[in-house]
Amino acid sequence: MTPITPADVGALFVPDGGRFVPTEYARGPWSPDSLHGGPVAALLAGTVDAQPADEPMHVARLTVELLRPVPLAPLTLSCTVPRPGRKVQLVEAVLSDGRRDLAWGRALRLRLQPTGAGAPDLPDPNHGPVPGRDPDAPAGPDDGHDSSSPTALGHYRAFHNAGAELRYVTGSFTTLGPATVWVRLAVPVVAGEEPSPLQRVAAAADFGNGVSAELDFGRFLFINPDLTVNLVRPAVGAWVCLDAVTRIGIPGVGLAECRLFDVLGPIGRSTQSLLVEPRP
């Protein structure tokens, strides 16, 4: 199916009954015919967020298994709670094209303590100044710079060049090695819906291997079949910062790791296993 064009709607996905139709904004860097992992992770995160709970819960870990390339076709989501509990829960989400599973999401949810039980209330940077920013955190997004994506990733509209905005504090898309970059969604995940903090982090974290690449995009593939995000608290504001590094190990294997920040300071970490091979 041909994706909905940006002229029709500005979002990564458009709801269509019980399905979600990807737009050009959701396309990935390795092929114009499949999706970027970030939109896929964000869509799975959204259905985890929507899963009701009897107690206030926080997603402390989200792991996304990218089973195969996700095509530009109508997608369906399902979600279950195989491990219910008052204090600890496991939530599982499945993304499918109606014939086979394309991606799995598993979230670990932990019960929140009442306000004042050891964790501070967090301000909203969209409604006033942000006090008490961690002095060890990276410079903010206003101090960053834009960096165009490598020509090896193609000139078609996609998530990495249109669906998200990236501002580099250190490094760039065209410079190999570690990088520190702020990421925010340029369009909603689902048309007509405000992205949740978990969706914003999931979408941003999948950039880790790309922004800290150790290999030339034109000569190598370093595709992540998974993404794991650990969070000590929800992200505040629209921007998520990745302090990213990639390590290449034995032939064919790599790992991308990110320290995650918001405008207040550290919020967690993310990792991606990498399948590394020469381009065909």
Q: Does residue 119 have a pLDDT over 90? A: no
Residues 6+ apart with CB under 8 A from 59: 45, 48, 49, 107, 108, 109, 198, 231
CATH number for the domain that contains residue 239: 2.40.160.210
pLDDT digits (tens, 9 = 90+) for 16-29: 989 999 999 999 98
In a domain, 239, yes or no: yes
What pLDDT, on a 0 to 100 scale, did the predictor assign at position 148?
A: 73
pLDDT digits (tens, 9 = 90+) for 93-116: 999 998 999 999 999 999 988 765
What pLDDT, on a 0 to 100 scale, did the predictor assign at position 209?
A: 96
In a domain, 1, yes or no: no
What's the number of domains the chain is made of? 1
In a domain, 120, yes or no: no
Cα 277 off chain centre by = 23
Rounded-to-10 torsion of CA 188, 193, 198, 204: 0
In a domain, 118, yes or no: no
In a domain, 130, yes or no: no
If pLDDT is split at 50, 70 and 90, which confidence band does 147 have? confident
Of 276, 5, 267, 8, whose CA–CA distance to 138 is shortest? 267
Domain that holds residue 52: 13-112+138-278
Q: Does residue 276 have a pLDDT over 70? A: yes
pTM comes to: 0.90
What pLDDT, on a 0 to 100 scale, did the predictor assign at position 129?
A: 46
pLDDT digits (tens, 9 = 90+) for 227-256: 999 999 999 999 999 999 999 999 999 999
In a domain, 7, yes or no: no
In a domain, 83, yes or no: yes
- Residue 145 has phi, psi (to 5 degrees) of -135, 155
If pLDDT is split at 50, 70 and 90, which confidence band does 135 have? low
